[in-house]
Amino acid sequence: MKIPRSFYAQDTIKVARQLLGKYLVRKHPDGTTVGKIVETEAYVGPHDLACHASKGRTARTEVMFGAPGHAYVYFIYGVYWCLNIVTEEVGHASAVLIRALEPIEGIELMEKRRGTEKIHNLASGPGKLCLAMAIDKGLNAADMARGKVLYVEDRGEPPLKIRATPRIGVDYAGTWKDKPWRFLIRGSEFVSKK
DNA sequence: CAAGAGATCATCT
DNA sequence: GATGATCTCTTGA
């Protein structure tokens, strides 16, 4: 069943933890791809110096200030796209970065898009999973609670063992870089880094 | 295997 | 004008 907006409206860290084990579904003219979410990161608000919203309300961060359940897709290093899902109430700029997926459906399509057949390398990183699932600027601000082309499904799996570590690539964020807000499914072979 | 460089551009100063 | 919530490839031990 598709995850409703009320789920995304909760505390960002809680959403980041609970997204683990859920399924990201992407419907595209070329085919449907599905991946199990195995790694996430929480960006909790404007006071969090690692969060893009700490730069203030700008054209880029506008989506994060809006309603929960929308996709925040941004371009980084002139090369890659990254997918986040906006959390908490309207006006609270926070989001969860989807960092890695375990490929479940449409694996051949992912292999074609990624140019590799190594399954552990198809979606084990935020830039890689966006390539594998054809996610780019066109999906920025998409409503994942109501939309049909990009959403998250709960397939009713039991609770998972979760491991928390500091977030990746945010050394510039002062004391915020050490917050243990990166969450992984313990033992998963599909995370970006162990 | 680890370390380093390059890719390449939207966004903010 | 600088830089980044990344990834791949090359180099060298």
Q: Residue A9 and residue A88: Cα distance in Å, rounded?
A: 4
pLDDT classification of A194: cutoffs 50, 70, 90: confident
**CATH T-level topology, domain A5-185:** 3-methyladenine DNA Glycosylase; Chain A (3.10.300)
Nucleotides of C under 7 A from a protein CB: 3-8
- Map out the domains of chain A as residue ranges: 5-185
Q: What is the pLDDT of residue A120?
A: 96
How close are the terminal C-alpha atoms of chain A, in Å? 30
Q: Look up residue A1 and give its amino acid.
A: M
**Nearby residues of A32 by Cβ (< 8 Å), 6 or more positions away:** A25, A26, A105, A106
* Cβ A183 vs Cβ A163: under 8 Å: yes
The vertex-A53 CA angle with A51 and A58, nearest 5°, equals 145
pLDDT-derived band at A172 (thresholds 50, 70, 90) equals very high
Spatial contact of A162 and A182, defined as CB atoms under 8 Å apart: no
Q: Over 90: is that where the pLDDT of A182 sits?
A: yes
pLDDT cut 90: percent of chain A above it: 99
The pTM (predicted TM-score) of the whole model is: 0.96
User: What digits encode the pLDDT tens for the residues A58-87?
Assistant: 999 999 999 999 999 999 999 999 999 999
Distance of C1' in B4 from CA in A194, Å? 21
- A101 — pLDDT class (breaks 50, 70, 90): very high
- Of all nucleotides, the one whose C1′ comes closest to residue A169's CA is C5
Q: Which nucleotides of B are covered by protein (CB under 7 A)?
A: 7-13
CA-to-C1' distance for A113 and C12, Å? 32
Can you give the pLDDT at residue A88? 98
pLDDT (average), residues A110-131: 97
Distance A19 CA to C3 C1' (A): 30
